[in-house]
């Protein structure tokens, strides 16, 4: 693929990922092969809804070198591996799509229905967990590619890697993977299948530059009390949304704290989030996260922008499903405490600040 064609293809893929809600905020990445030993990839920490061609980064497959001041995605190494192991692959997308992320918690190999075999192979391999952007993750992905992963693979507690000879084929792999994973998740967790339904997200409060707060006129008194405390004690909290779904409400009935099963949740929402009883006081630790669960009401999702709060809501929904998926399945475990702390720190002090700076430009 020529460079200009690659730029157009990557931007088209970005728009498709955002529309399909396969990524949250800047998480996930896309690349296209350029020539025999280079690929064009999305940058690190740049908002996808405002991405331009000149922000895409050309990377060398052999040594991951690049030119210019814009950094490529931190997952460039796993893209390079796919191009090295799969000479016919022209596009690679890394998504955090919901059902594939849940299925990744099981580990091992997932059976592929016979009618999907031509595209997906006989099974979907899962790479063991490694922190995002690390050599450990790259080694685990390399091991799975060595085992013959045909057009997609899962990364434990993280997401999916899909690839193909064209952009259309790559997105088809992602769609088929999601369908296969949905069937598997629901077969292992009838509870999740029973709970699946519509979710509702509403704006509860918005803090203006002057410091005044605009309230949703239908907000419950209990929630207004929580939101007031959050708005005035969290400097970066300007929007609060209420997420209501059957999965979230089920979690508030059965758990006192929700741990991070997925690393995008640990990064963007927090290593764990508290479940509050109505009229309870907010624990001090909760002011360092961007979500809270409230019994009988749902999840309070916070952000410095409405888009940030919406991303948090998306991840809270997915992680609550993961927590419910783990009920009765010993293999499904939350991430290690230290890993979640490291990811949250890096996100708050690097990616989030970079995205905030970009939003001001």
pLDDT digit of tens for each residue in the chain (361 aa)?
888 988 999 888 888 877 766 665 556 899 999 998 999 999 987 877 788 899 999 999 999 999 889 999 999 999 999 999 999 999 999 999 999 999 999 999 999 999 999 999 999 999 999 999 899 999 999 999 999 899 999 999 999 999 999 999 999 999 999 999 999 999 999 999 999 999 999 999 999 999 899 999 999 999 999 999 999 999 899 999 999 999 999 999 999 999 999 999 999 999 999 999 988 899 998 899 999 999 999 999 999 999 899 999 999 999 999 999 999 899 999 999 999 999 999 988 876 555 555 554 4
Q: By the 8 A CB rule, do 3 and 39 touch?
A: no
Question: d(Cα 328, Cα 129) in Å, to the nearest integer?
Answer: 21
Bridge-based pairing of strands 239-244 and 298-303 is antiparallel
* CA-wise closest residue to 93 among 38, 148, 13: 13
Q: For helices 246-254 and 306-325, what crossing angle results, to 10°? A: 60
**CATH class of the domain comprising 195-359:** alpha beta
pLDDT at 358: 54
- Tokens 């296209």, residue located: 32
Same fold, 3-188 and 195-359: yes
pLDDT at 352: 58
Question: d(Cα 163, Cα 169) in Å, to the nearest integer?
Answer: 8
**How is the chain split into domains, by residue range?**
3-188, 195-359
Q: By the 8 A CB rule, do 126 and 154 touch?
A: yes
Question: d(Cα 332, Cα 335) in Å, to the nearest integer?
Answer: 10
Helical spans, DSSP H, in the chain:
3-19, 76-85, 98-104, 117-120, 135-146, 167-188, 190-195, 221-233, 246-254, 263-268, 306-325, 337-346, 352-359
DSSP helix/strand/coil, 294 = strand
Paired tokens of 223: 């929630």
Topology at the third CATH level for domain 3-188 = L-fuculose-1-phosphate Aldolase (3.40.225)
- pTM value is 0.93
């Amino acid at each position: 693929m020529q460079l200009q064609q690659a730029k157009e293809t990557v931007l088209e893929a970005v728009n498709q990922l955002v529309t399909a809600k396969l990524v949250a905020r800047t998480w996930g990445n896309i690349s296209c092969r350029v020539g025999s030993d280079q690929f064009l990839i999305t940058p690190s920490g740049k908002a996808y809804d405002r991405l331009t061609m000149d922000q895409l980064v050309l990377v060398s497959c052999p040594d991951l070198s690049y030119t210019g001041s814009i950094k490529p995605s931190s997952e460039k190494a796993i893209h390079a591996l796919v191009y090295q192991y799969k000479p016919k692959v022209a596009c690679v997308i890394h998504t955090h799509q919901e059902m594939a992320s849940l299925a990744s918690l099981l580990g091992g190999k997932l059976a592929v229905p016979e009618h999907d075999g031509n595209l997906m192979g006989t099974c979907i391999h899962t790479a063991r967990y490694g922190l995002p952007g690390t050599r450990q993750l790259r080694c685990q992905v390399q091991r799975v590619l060595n085992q013959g992963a045909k057009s997609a693979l899962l990364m434990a507690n993280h997401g999916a890697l899909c690839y193909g000879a064209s952009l259309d084929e790559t997105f088809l792999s992602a769609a088929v993977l999601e369908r296969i994973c949905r069937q598997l998740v629901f077969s292992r967790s009838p509870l999740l299948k029973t709970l699946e339904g519509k979710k509702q997200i509403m704006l509860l409060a918005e803090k203006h530059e002057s410091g005044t707060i605009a309230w949703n006129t239908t907000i419950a008194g209990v929630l207004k009390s929580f939101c007031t405390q959050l708005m005035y004690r969290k400097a970066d909290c300007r929007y609060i949304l209420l997420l209501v779904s059957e999965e979230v409400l089920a979690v508030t009935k059965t758990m006192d704290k929700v741990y991070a099963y997925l690393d995008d949740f640990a990064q963007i929402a927090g290593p764990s989030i508290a479940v509050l009883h109505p009229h309870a006081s907010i624990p001090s630790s909760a002011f360092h996260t961007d979500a809270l669960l409230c019994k009988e009401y749902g999840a309070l999702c916070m952000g410095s922008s409405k888009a940030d709060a919406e991303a948090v809501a998306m991840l809270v929904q997915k992680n609550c499903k993961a927590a419910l998926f783990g009920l009765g399945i010993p293999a499904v475990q939350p991430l290690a405490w230290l890993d979640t702390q490291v990811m949250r720190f890096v996100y708050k002090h690097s990616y989030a600040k970079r995205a905030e700076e970009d939003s001001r430009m």
